[in-house]
Amino acid sequence: MRTRIKICGITNPEDASVVVDAGADGIGLMFYKRSSRFVSIQQAIAIAEKVPPLVDLVGVFVDPLEEEVIAVLERAPLSILQFHGSESVEFCEGFGKPYIKVMRMSDQIDPQVESSTHPKAGAFLLDTFNPDAHGGTGETFEWSRARVNLASPIILAGGLTAENVGTALSVSNAWGVDTSSGVEKTPGVKDREKIVAFCRAVREWDRNNHDNAAERTSH
């Protein structure tokens, strides 16, 4: 089984095309206005035109209002929602879309307990905890904490780069990986060579660790 790859924080069609050509499975669009990678609905529509079928367009939200999510869904062809805040299970399930729930891995977080609060989540994304930011910090956490068996797949995030993603996968055995700052020139501006190198490093890990990859739960 191959590792799924999501590149988050895409802000323009050109970077989206690079991500698609590099072989990533998903593109993350930030609809959180406090993020340096925030995109408007108009930007999202332009980016979506560069995203072919079978590549997921993931809308990332942080404690949004219901009407904010609906406004995006009415115009942008998102295939998956990602909730990065303290959204309730009722809220996450209220839009008729598959969703990813983020766990910010503070010392107090137990993935087994947290996952039980959102039993229908399509996946859980485990990211580094930072009290001042919701992702995109370039900081890692202890990857062994992601090596747990949950009912839904685990996506590993937080400071992943082409140089460390292989080690991160060996330690965590995560189903998928997500990076943003690790493939950037500056916040919101991606680096083509870093994107290509990141995807290549993941595929190389898959080839070299076929037995481990086959053990991961497929959903």
10-residue averages of pLDDT along the chain (219 residues): 96 97 98 96 97 96 98 98 96 98 93 95 92 64 94 96 98 97 94 98 94 52
pLDDT value at residue 210: 73
Q: Considering its fold, how many domains does the chain have in total?
A: 1
Is the model's pTM score more than 0.85?
yes
For residue 161, the cross-strand partners are none
Are the C-beta atoms of residues 198 and 183 closer than 8 Å to each other?
yes
Q: How far apart (Å, rounded) are the C-alpha atoms in residues 207 and 211?
A: 9
Neighbours of 25 (CB within 10 A): 18
Which residues are catalytic, by number?
8, 127
The parent domain of residue 190 ranges over 4-215
Neighbours of 185 (CB within 10 A): 11
What are the Cα distances from residue 190, in Å, to 16, 153, 182, 184?
Answer: 9, 27, 9, 4
3-state secondary structure of 23: coil
Q: Any idea what the CATH number is for the domain that residue 134 is in?
A: 3.20.20.70
